[in-house]
Structure 1
Amino acid sequence: MQDSGIQVLFQGTNFLRLLEGLLVSLRISIIAMGLSVVLGIPFGVIMTSKNMIIRFISRIYLETVRIMPQLVLLFLVYFGAAKHVGVNFSGGMAAVIVFTFWGTAEMGDLVRSALISIPVHQYESGFALGMTKIQVHWYLIIPQTVRRLLPSLMNLLTRMIKTTSLVVLIGVVEVVKVGKQIIDASRYTTPTAALWVYGAIFLMYFAICYPFSMASALLEKKLKD
């Protein structure tokens, strides 16, 4: 008699393995997001430069990241670096590099948009009060920029968490890979396992991403009030 698909989730350590795979996905996205914020903030400031050459180079980087699929970038770093540069990155390291490369560009554009959205009179008011350029940025511009950034920052984190599912194609044993292993092991005894396993993975991603989406919507609504 065939076992029902839902039983596969709780056989042995299957569910625990799924959670461990999810932690791998989260670790990659959180590390990449942290690096993206650190590198993206100065990049966003650079993008507001009045130097046309600097703006042009920054725009080329941003558009390259947006046009090139993340999967292609993963293959270029994971396979290309080993073959042409002689550097063997692990799947996890290659994923962090690619997502940081992508996240830095996106974060920089968010910072740029937030900075240019600050009205000019905010700067003028600060200077009129006798503030230095550093004080104007620290006390007036940066706090307003951070408020504008938070909703978009959470959306970027959500996108990054979801996109980590691509790293299965470079050998990273994350939640989707673990799910496939469980399904393959139960293919003949439990043909319906795929529905339940991928359903569980969907709920895991939903449980993580939905709170960020809600928080982003609430912040956006609050900022508009």
Structure 2
Amino acid sequence: MQDWGISVLFEGRNFIRLLEGLGVTLEISLLSVLVSMILGTGMGVLMSINSKVIRFICRIYLNIVRIIPQLVLLFLAYFGLSKSFGVNLSGELAAVLVFSFWGIAEMGDLVRGALNSIPKHQYETGLAVGLSRRQLYQYIIIPQTIRRLLPQTINLITRIIKTTSLIVLIGVVEVVKVGQQIIEASRLTVPSAALWIYGVIFILYFIICYPISLLAMKLEKWWEV
């Protein structure tokens, strides 16, 4: 077992440290997802109204987010703000701001697409049969929007979780950073440690993301019944 390098996982607190790093990853991911879902939904509604100015501003925002890589946004937030404007952000806060900034735009576009995909005659028919606007959205529009949003939203959540691995480059001690520290400390005694450490990190990400995908599939089947 020593030759394979798996023993490095159980030396001292190495495995516990990986789990603690995973906790940091999950904390940043969950905060970013929560902000993205709430504000992104509002942005999607704004993008669906008949205001050319609002839609233009939202489209510019969306294009900026899609053009600039998340890593560049992280560097701008963490290094750029502190150097140019004297804003002292922690790596964790910078990560939450950047991933929320990205997630809000993506979620907004998903909501806009789901709302616009519902035929206009359903709005007109609902109002024609005497439904109030609240009832129209509660019983007709929102249920259909959620069904259409679910697969893309689950995909966005898993993307945010996986993309948080980039924060290792701004010094945040999350699961990948902890793995690098363990590998560096064991490079002479256990040369094959990288295989096992990164293998465990892969499994941890899989354990987090796969159940989310399963939940989405079950919800889709439940709604189809």
TM-score norm. by structure 2 comes to 0.94
Q: Is the 8 A contact 1:151 1:215 kept in 2?
A: no
Q: Distance in 2 between matches of 1:130 and 1:81?
A: 54
The question of 1:201 aligning with 2:212 is answered no
Q: Distance in 2 between matches of 1:214 and 1:152?
A: 14
2:57 maps to amino acid: I
Q: Distance in 1 between matches of 2:102 and 2:96?
A: 10
Structure 1: 5+ residue stretches without partners:
none
Matched residue SS, 1:161: helix
1:38-90: CA deviation from partner (whole Å, max 9, x where unpaired): 10011001111222222111111111101110000000000111112211000
- CA RMSD in angstroms, aligned pairs only: 1.6
The question of 1:32 aligning with 2:32 is answered yes
Identity %: 63
Residue 3 of structure 1, CA deviation: 5.2
Q: Distance in 2 between matches of 1:116 and 1:41?
A: 14
1:41 maps to amino acid: T
Structure 2: 5+ residue stretches without partners:
none
Q: Is the 8 A contact 1:62 1:106 kept in 2?
A: yes
Alignment of 1:41-190 (within 5 A): 41-190=41-190
Q: Distance in 2 between matches of 1:222 and 1:120?
A: 26
Q: Distance in 2 between matches of 1:51 and 1:127?
A: 22
Q: Distance in 1 between matches of 2:222 and 2:101?
A: 31
Deviation larger for 130-139 or 146-155: 130-139
1:199 maps to amino acid: G
Deviation larger for 136-145 or 198-207: 136-145
Give the match for residue 16 of structure 1: 16
Deviation larger for 121-130 or 87-96: 121-130
Residue 181 of structure 1, CA deviation: 0.4
Q: Distance in 2 between matches of 1:22 and 1:182?
A: 14
Q: Distance in 1 between matches of 2:173 and 2:47?
A: 37
Q: Is the 8 A contact 2:17 2:178 kept in 1?
A: yes
Q: Is the 8 A contact 1:25 1:164 kept in 2?
A: yes
Residue 213 of structure 1, CA deviation: 2.5
Matched residue SS, 1:179: helix
Deviation larger for 97-106 or 147-156: 147-156
Q: Distance in 2 between matches of 1:220 and 1:110?
A: 17
Q: Is the 8 A contact 1:40 1:105 kept in 2?
A: yes
TM-score norm. by structure 1 comes to 0.94
